[in-house]
């Protein structure tokens, strides 16, 4: 991973802020974030809202894609059939992607890479581009990141428009590094492409943050159907999609509930954000008579892909943007704990 852990944590927090700000272009950004571009979504939801930000004291351009914010966005999310993404994203290998999210990425190509190239040409100090998004925005940002990884971002500025001064050409700066930070992203590719994408020379780091119990990063069709059947067994109802313990598959007849193989996966290393309660040491003479108060603590754990696919997450409250933003703030300030073995 390029950069020190502290530097990466600061960038992740900035990316999370941008992933939230893209929902409200009029919101006041945090210190150091300078807006450089904002594009409204299409009425049909196919073209997502996008914004770009520069870190005022850094060398980073952050590209943020908005997630679900309208009924049209929900229709896009439901269009989950797999579709070949190799031609749309310019990949040298075959991989399928969630059709709805792929259509959103396609709607932003090639205009978004051209805008990124324009920003890079205008500011030669920019050496790092971070793609980010929350929920469905994270899924679309992941596809745009893959396109950038295999179709190197250029500093060549597009041809000047009428009345616009041509960009100055000086000594060519090196191509920028590109990274990915998603927050509660929906699964998007039919296979895990993280290791393969990481071999590209322009790729920095790829991080998919998931709050513990957040259902959205697990919610592809096989998982959702399996959870529905799990709840049906709780009430003695027959399973609709899962073959467990006979026709009615009562949970009491199954030693364990085996989750199906996922149809779509996250892009990036899965970083699980886990909130726990810990007992604080009581103070005072009557400490033995008073229950120790509880204080929240956070842990960030890298989870192997196979282990992640065995987790049962069914909550939506922890999927909220403000929850991710608060936890990334803790990550940036170092106010979290290292898990003990």
**pLDDT one-digit tens code per residue, 246-290:** 444 545 455 577 888 999 999 999 999 998 765 555 555 544 444
Is the pLDDT score of 169 beyond 60?
Answer: no
Among the listed ranges 17-26, 257-266, 329-338, which one has the minimum average pLDDT value?
329-338
Specify the pLDDT at position 249. 53
HEC assignment per residue over the chain: CCCCHHHHHHHHHHHHHHHHHCCCCCCCCCCCEEEEEEECCCCCCCCCCEEEEEECCCCEEEEEECCCCCHHHHHHHHCCCEEECHHHHCCCCCCEEEHHHHHHHHHHCCHHHHHHHHHHHHCCCCCEEEEEEECHHHHHHHHHHHHHHHCCCCCCCCCCCCCCCCCCCCCCCCCCEEEEEEECCCCCECCCCHHHHHCCCCEEEEEEEEECCECHHHCCHHHHHHHHHHHHHHCCCCCCCCCCCCCCCCHHHCCCCCCCCCCCECCCEEEEEEEEEEECCCCCCCHHHCCCCEEEEEEEEEECHHHHCCCCCCECHHHCHHHHHHHHHHHHHCCCECCCC
Dump pLDDT digits (tens) for 143-161. Answer: 999 999 999 776 665 544 4
- Rounded CA gap, 134 and 138, in Å? 5
Is the pLDDT score of 341 beyond 60?
Answer: no
Whole-model pTM: value is 0.86
Is the pLDDT score of 218 beyond 50?
Answer: yes
Closest CA to 223 of 135, 143, 314, 138: 314
**Beta-strand pair 177-183/96-98:** unpaired
CB within 8 A of 137, min separation 6: which ones?
19, 22, 48, 64, 65, 66, 67, 68, 185
Q: Which two structure tokens, joined as six digits, stand for 214?
A: 């957040």
Specify the pLDDT at position 248. 46
Instruction: Tell me the average pLDDT across 84-94.
Output: 96
Is the pLDDT score of 318 beyond 60?
Answer: yes
Label residue 236 by pLDDT band (50, 70, 90). confident
Dump pLDDT digits (tens) for 92-141. Answer: 999 999 999 999 999 999 899 999 999 999 998 999 999 999 999 999 99
Identify the residue whose tokens are 């596809």: 143
Average pLDDT, the chain: 85
Among the listed ranges 39-53, 255-269, 289-303, which one has the minimum average pLDDT value?
289-303
Name the residue ranges covered by the structural domains of the chain. Answer: 5-159+172-216, 221-261
Instruction: Tell me the average pLDDT across 284-306.
Output: 66
Label residue 173 by pLDDT band (50, 70, 90). low
5-159+172-216 has which CATH code? 3.40.50.1820
Asked whether the CA dihedral 145, 151, 155, 161 is positive or negative, the reply is: negative
Beta carbons of 207 and 12 less than 8 angstroms apart = yes
Q: Would you call 124 exposed, middle or buried from its count of C-beta atoms within 10 A (0-12, 13-18, 19+)?
A: middle
Specify the pLDDT at position 255. 57
């Amino acid at each position: 991973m390029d950069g020190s852990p502290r530097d990466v944590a600061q960038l992740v927090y900035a990316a999370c802020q941008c992933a939230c700000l893209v929902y409200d272009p009029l919101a006041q950004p945090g210190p150091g974030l300078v807006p450089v571009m904002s594009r409204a979504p299409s009425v049909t939801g196919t073209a997502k809202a996008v914004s770009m930000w520069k870190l005022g004291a850094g060398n980073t351009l952050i590209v943020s894609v908005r997630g679900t914010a309208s009924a049209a966005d929900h229709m896009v999310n439901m269009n989950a059939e797999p579709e070949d993404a190799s031609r749309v994203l310019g990949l040298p290998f075959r991989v399928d992607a969630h059709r709805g999210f792929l259509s959103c990425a396609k709607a932003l190509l090639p205009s978004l890479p051209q805008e990124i190239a324009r920003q890079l040409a205008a500011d030669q100090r920019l050496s790092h581009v971070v793609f980010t998004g929350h929920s469905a925005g994270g899924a679309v940002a992941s596809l745009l990141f893959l396109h950038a990884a295999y179709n190197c971002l250029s500093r060549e500025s597009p041809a000047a428009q009428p009345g616009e001064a041509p960009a100055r050409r000086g000594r060519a700066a090196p191509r920028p590094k590109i990274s990915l930070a998603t927050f509660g992203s929906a699964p998007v590719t039919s296979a895990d492409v993280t290791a393969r994408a990481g071999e590209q020379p322009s790729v920095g780091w790829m991080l998919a943050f998931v709050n513990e119990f957040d259902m959205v990063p697990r919610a592809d069709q096989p998982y959702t159907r399996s959870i529905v059947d799990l709840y049906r067994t709780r009430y003695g109802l027959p399973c609709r999609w899962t073959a467990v313990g006979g026709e009615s598959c009562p949970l009491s007849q199954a030693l364990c509930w085996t989750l199906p193989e996922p149809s779509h996966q996250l892009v990036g290393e899965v970083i699980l954000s886990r909130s726990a309660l810990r007992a604080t040491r009581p103070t005072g003479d009557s400490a033995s008579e008073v229950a120790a108060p509880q204080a929240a603590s956070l842990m960030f754990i890298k989870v192997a892909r196979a282990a992640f696919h065995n987790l049962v997450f069914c909550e939506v409250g922890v999927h909220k943007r403000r929850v991710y933003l608060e936890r990334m703030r803790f990550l940036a300030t170092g106010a979290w704990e290292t898990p003990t073995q």
